[in-house]
Amino acid sequence: MTSAITSSRSIEEVLAVVGSARPQELNEISMSAGITRIAQLQQTLHASHLQTGAFKTLLEGMSNCLRNPSVQPAVVASILWAIASARNDAPELQQLLSAAVFGLQSSAAEMQQREVTNSIWAIATLHTYVPQARSSLNIEATCELFASKKAAFAKIGHVQAAGNALWALGRLKTVALPPFREHLQPILLERCREVLACDVFEVDRTVRLTGVARIAWALSLLECREETIIGRVRELFLQVAPQYSDNRLMPFVDVLCALAKLHMPDGGLLEVVASRTWPVKSMRDWDLCALAWAHETLDSQKDFSTFHIMLRKEIASRGLTERHVLHSQFGYEEWQNLDGERKAS
């Protein structure tokens, strides 16, 4: 049953598998797979889905499993990840949040590195972007729980995991008690140094620029001018920029904005980015505004490039204001909600 769920290509297929299952097949593993697959598909949950017996069975059964003191840590982490990942496409999954936080408290002692990292990312994401979910997070106690998992965080060995954990620390630092940051920041900074020290693109072919950029962005959230880490991030981006074939600018924008917010030199990265031929007309509004803001902040001599002139012309042609440019430094998702408007991707 689980394999049928994970191979489903639509929410309808997932619900059809669940709906045809025998009662004994609906355990915490299969139901967790169903919830996770719905999140992975990035498809909108419609009223027609919500009204099915299968969806109601998933929610009710999964809630009961999460409240079982013997729930598996991997199941809890998967559900938290699904709720956070599907916060826009399937907000109805947030009905499981209270039970998932209960399950987190029950299973945390047994959680390993991957489960802890996925869970802290999910909690930070929900606290940051879903204000109505905050009352369910029991945030001080939850952060205290994460602070007790230093040994698990110390085993992080992947760029994306290190960046996600450090980003979560930056997002939660103002709402958690001081020991949360005091215990975890030294460990996570050391893990970032370690995972970036090698030739990350040779050691792990799955590493993407977004993972490296996430580390820089996290440092800006923490207001931590860690030269060893930032220097390595700059070096890696300078290494790949000349042959970067993907037109998605976001990793470069994240790093340049992080450098600007930290008041640290770009080391030539701005010039390399500006020298590339980017499809300005097809850029997202946020990319345009954030690049312009970073360019103007990093270029202390105000010797603006032709690229910057192009950015400014395109910004003006779209009717975007200086407020949009200034607000872009806070991040893509925050910027989308400026004035209550969601900007088109």
What separation, in Å, do the N-terminal and C-terminal C-alpha atoms of the chain show? 36
pTM of the model as a whole: 0.91
- Percent pLDDT > 70 in the chain is 94
Find the mean pLDDT for residues 136-143. Answer: 97
Question: Rounded to an integer, what distance in angstroms lies between the CA atom of residue 208 and that of residue 57?
Answer: 37
* Span 56-90, pLDDT tens digits: 999 999 999 999 999 999 999 999 999 999 999 99
Query: Is residue 342 predicted with pLDDT exceeding 50?
Result: no
The pLDDT value given to residue 109 = 94
The mean of the pLDDT values for the chain is 91
Q: What is the pLDDT of residue 278?
A: 80
Q: What is the structure's pLDDT at 202? A: 61
Q: Which pLDDT belongs to residue 279?
A: 83
Burial class, 245, CB count within 10 angstroms (exposed 0-12 / middle 13-18 / buried 19+)? exposed
The pLDDT of 213-237, averaged and rounded, is 96
> Cα separations (Å) of 154 from 76, 191, 318?
21, 7, 46
The pLDDT of residue 247 is 66
Residue 339 has pLDDT above 60, yes or no: no
